[in-house]
């Protein structure tokens, strides 16, 4: 019996059946305490909340440290950001695209990074799109066929948000590196639920927010930049928190020369959201307490159980059934998915419609009973 992990820490589960982590992770009691702490700090200290002992500056730094631990990085390789779109822009602003002016992404990717790359056309950048033949999967070879000596940058979403397809990220990274092409990995749908070691992957850049499986809410995300790229790149899009010793520049003098950090902090923008950092810490610390290894094992077993129940109920899937080809999102085909999801929501089953199917995104707080009740209700509602 898959009973769930730490279910008593998530009050929403007492009210509804929750299957929507890919839209937003459920709020925990730890998140509530973190939010309360920020509210009290704002009320008691206002602007001095930045500078007091254990204040907001320390919270932001602690969040960078926690994310570094979560993905197997050094602190110097982590920058805070405001979303994967912003993180992508930090990186693309660093390239001149003069001799290499091609970028590649997939038509399955979440649109944030592709939108950024397509907008580069104004800089004479050409984008190439890896087309999924089945609307569900793409392979490393599909990317390889589009690589040329003019390819400057490839963006890869390692788990597809609509269907849960999990790409072979290691293979794509290795193929790209054979041609000296850097990879930007969008890991929003994997970090916190699938083990990540950026050093073993040898990935060039990786970004993730905290909204989903990290359970850290809105307001902050993180960018990993490999050592050699920190040395080689200087982004043109930055803010005052992307300066070396930003508080010295803010309080002591307005410099007439740009002093960049020698760490990934050079890719940072303006004032970070302290509430985002505080919430992110509460989520990441819960994930690390239970360990990503344990969570990945549990979530994978629960998704496999869901797939078995779908087979028994003769429900078809928009998700690969092989464990190594899926994250913790299962998309169930339905003739009128939008209407089915609407009816399920009215019955307090919280999930989403994506890719003309019912998207079920599970996390460690879900259990076998959640799955059983959902499948029984889908069969009843769909008839």
pLDDT digits 0-9 by tens, 165-194:
999 999 999 999 999 999 999 999 999 999
Q: Is residue 103 located within the same domain as residue 21?
A: no
Domain final residue pick, 288, 309, 344: 288
pLDDT of residue 33: 97
**150 and 130 inside one domain:** yes
Q: 3-state SS of the chain: helix, strand, coil percent to 5?
A: 45, 15, 40
57 shares its domain with 134: yes
93, two tokens:
């602003």
**Phi, psi values for residue 208, rounded to 5°:** -155, 145
Taking the C-alpha atoms of residue 383 and residue 340, their distance in angstroms, rounded to an integer, is 10
Last residue of a domain, one of 288, 317, 340: 288
Say if residue 84 is in the same domain as residue 144.
yes
Give the per-residue pLDDT at 108. Answer: 97
Instruction: Mark whether 22 and 44 lie in a shared domain.
Output: no
Does the residue 176 lie in any domain?
yes
Domain encompassing residue 230: 32-288
Domain count, the chain: 2
Q: Are residues 272 and 359 in the same domain?
A: no
**Is the domain of 241 the same as that of 306?**
no
The confidence score (pLDDT) of residue 184 equals 98
Using 70 as the pLDDT threshold, list the residues of the chain that sit under it.
Answer: 249-255, 383
What local confidence, expressed as pLDDT, does residue 1 receive?
A: 78
Which residues does 122 contact at the CB level (< 8 Å), separation at least 6?
none
> How confident is the model over 32-57, as pLDDT tens digits?
999 999 999 999 999 888 888 889 99
The pLDDT assigned to 245 comes to: 83
Where are the strands (E) in 239-338, listed by range? 329-333
pLDDT at residue 53 in the model: 85
């Amino acid at each position: 019996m898959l009973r769930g992990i730490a279910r008593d820490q998530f009050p929403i589960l007492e009210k509804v059946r929750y299957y929507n982590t890919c839209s937003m992770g459920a709020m925990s009691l730890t998140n509530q305490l973190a939010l309360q702490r920020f509210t009290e700090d704002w009320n008691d200290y206002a602007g001095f909340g930045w500078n007091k002992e254990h204040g907001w500056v320390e919270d932001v730094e602690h969040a960078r440290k926690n994310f570094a631990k979560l993905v197997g990085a050094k602190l110097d390789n982590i920058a805070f950001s405001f979303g994967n779109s912003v993180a992508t822009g930090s990186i693309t602003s660093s390239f001149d695209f003069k001799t290499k002016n091609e970028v590649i992404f997939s038509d399955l990717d979440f649109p944030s990074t592709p939108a950024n790359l397509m907008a580069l056309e104004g800089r004479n950048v050409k984008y190439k799109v890896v087309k999924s033949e089945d609307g569900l999967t793409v392979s490393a070879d599909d990317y390889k066929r589009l690589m040329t000596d003019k390819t400057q940058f490839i963006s890869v979403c390692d788990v597809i948000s609509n269907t849960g397809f999990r790409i072979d990220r290691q293979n794509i990274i290795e193929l790209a590196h054979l041609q000296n092409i850097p990879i930007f990995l969008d890991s929003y749908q994997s970090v916190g639920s699938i083990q990540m070691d950026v050093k073993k992957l040898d990935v060039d850049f990786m970004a993730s927010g905290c909204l989903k499986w990290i359970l850290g809410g809105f307001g902050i995300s993180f960018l990993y930049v490999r050592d050699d790229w920190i040395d080689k790149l200087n982004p043109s899009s930055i803010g005052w928190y992307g300066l070396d010793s930003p508080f010295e520049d803010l309080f002591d003098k307005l410099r007439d020369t740009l002093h960049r950090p020698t760490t990934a902090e050079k890719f940072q923008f303006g004032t970070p959201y302290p509430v985002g950092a505080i919430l992110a810490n509460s989520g990441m610390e819960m994930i690390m307490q239970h360990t990503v290894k344990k969570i990945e094992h549990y979530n994978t077993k629960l998704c496999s159980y869901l797939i078995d129940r779908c087979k028994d109920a003769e429900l078809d899937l928009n998700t690969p059934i092989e464990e190594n080809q899926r994250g913790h999102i299962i998309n169930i085909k339905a003739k009128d998915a939008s209407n089915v999801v609407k009816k399920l929501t009215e019955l307090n089953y919280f999930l989403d419609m994506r890719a003309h199917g019912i998207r079920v995104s599970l996390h460690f707080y879900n259990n076998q009973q959640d799955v059983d009740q959902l499948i029984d209700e889908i069969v009843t509602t769909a008839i």
